[in-house]
Amino acid sequence: MIRFVILALLILLTAALVWLWWSDYVLIEKCLDHGGRWDADKRVCRISVTPPPTSPAFLPV
CB atoms near residue 32 (< 10 Å): 12
pTM (2 d.p.): 0.57
Q: Which of 40, 12, 14, 13 is closest to 27 using CA atoms?
A: 40
User: Residue 41: which domain range?
Assistant: 20-46
Please check whether residue 61 lies inside any domain of the structure.
no
Q: Rounded to an integer, what distance in angstroms lies between the CA atom of residue 37 and that of residue 22?
A: 18
Does 9 reside within a domain?
Answer: no
Residue 34, domain member (yes or no): yes
CB atoms within 10 A of CB 44: 13
Domain assignment present for 6: no
* Total number of domains in the chain: 1
Decide if 28 is inside a domain.
yes
Q: Is residue 41 part of a domain?
A: yes
CA atoms within 13 Å, Cβ hemisphere of 39: 8
pLDDT (tens digit per residue) in 1-47:
999 999 999 999 999 999 988 889 889 999 999 999 999 999 999 99
The tens digit of pLDDT for each residue in 40-58 reads 999 999 999 887 777 667 6
52 falls within a domain: no
